[in-house]
Amino acid sequence: MVTIAPPNLVSFALTSCAAIPTAKYSGIIVGCASAAEGGYHISREDQPPGNYSISHYPADAGGDRQWASAVDISMEPREMGNVTHRLTRALSAADPRASALRAFNGSLNGKTALRWECDGAVGTAAPEHAHCLHLEIFRSRANDLRALFDLMSVMVGADSSPFEECAVEQVHGHIERSLDSICARITDIANRLTLMERHEQR
Ligand SMILES: [Zn+2]
């Protein structure tokens, strides 16, 4: 029984932190105080039976059974409000770039923490989420680099997918090769960070 951080989820988290002012990486495996109760911060095989993170959506049945599938990113109130607003807008508009997002906890004003589900439901969240964004990714998408970077493009306020912009430039082959090379490097760095994070867990 083990929980590991998928390399591309680590890449997504660290790149998001680099792209969002004041954002700080707060964890994939560790993070929320509630992780011991089950949920996306721990793997499918480590869940208590019937936990919501494995029982509600078919998209949570896929992916590696040892992957964690949640990210915590801390940020100051202004960025929290901006990022939360962009994510709520993407969910309500069914923006395909947010299709990997199962739910998230955040705050529109940096004071009141709320939870938004992909089905449109809004609920309460623990107070810590006023300054700590908690993203739950469908388990089948937890290592999907394209889906994750599409989501990041929403978070940073971009108007379109970085991958679509490449296609529009009609130099698709060249950019695809460049992207592959960049992704390989990011994955290599992320793999090492994942090993470090696993080491710290022991
Ligand atoms: Zn969390």
11-68: pLDDT as tens digits:
999 989 988 989 999 999 864 455 568 999 999 998 988 999 999 999 999 999 999 9
Distance, CA 1 to ligand 1 centroid (Å)?
20
Q: Which residue has the higher pLDDT, 185 or 77?
A: 77
Give the C-alpha separation, 41 to 186, whole Å: 22
Distance, CA 151 to ligand 1 centroid (Å)?
17
Distance, CA 167 to ligand 1 centroid (Å)?
34
One-letter amino acid at 117 equals E
Distance, CA 134 to ligand 1 centroid (Å)?
4
Distance, CA 32 to ligand 1 centroid (Å)?
4
Distance, CA 20 to ligand 1 centroid (Å)?
18
Give the Å distances, CA to CA, from 41 to 35, 38, 46, 68, 195: 6, 8, 10, 5, 16
Closest CA to 69 of 146, 5, 154, 14: 5
Give per-residue pLDDT as tens, 74-121.
999 999 999 999 999 999 999 999 999 999 999 999 999 999 999 999
Q: Is the pTM of this model over 0.85?
A: no
For residue 103, what are the β-bridge partners?
117, 136
Q: Where are the domains of the chain?
A: 7-201
Distance, CA 43 to ligand 1 centroid (Å)?
13
Distance, CA 177 to ligand 1 centroid (Å)?
34
Distance, CA 136 to ligand 1 centroid (Å)?
8
Distance, CA 72 to ligand 1 centroid (Å)?
5
Q: What is the DSSP string of 112-151?
A: S-EEEETTS-EEE--GGGGTEEEEEE-GGGTT-HHHHHHH
Neighbouring C-beta atoms of residue 165, cutoff 10 Å? 13
Give per-residue pLDDT as tens, 124-160.
999 999 999 999 999 999 999 999 999 999 999 888 7
Q: Is 26 helix (H, G, I), strand (E, B) or coil?
A: strand
Give the C-alpha separation, 30 to 4, whole Å: 11
Distance, CA 135 to ligand 1 centroid (Å)?
7
Q: Which residue has the higher pLDDT, 113 or 179?
A: 113
Distance, CA 33 to ligand 1 centroid (Å)?
8
Distance, CA 74 to ligand 1 centroid (Å)?
10
Count Cβ atoms within 10 A of the Cβ of residue 155 and give its class: 0-12 exposed, 13-18 middle, 19 or more buried: buried
Name the phi and psi angles at 133, rounded to 5: -70, 130
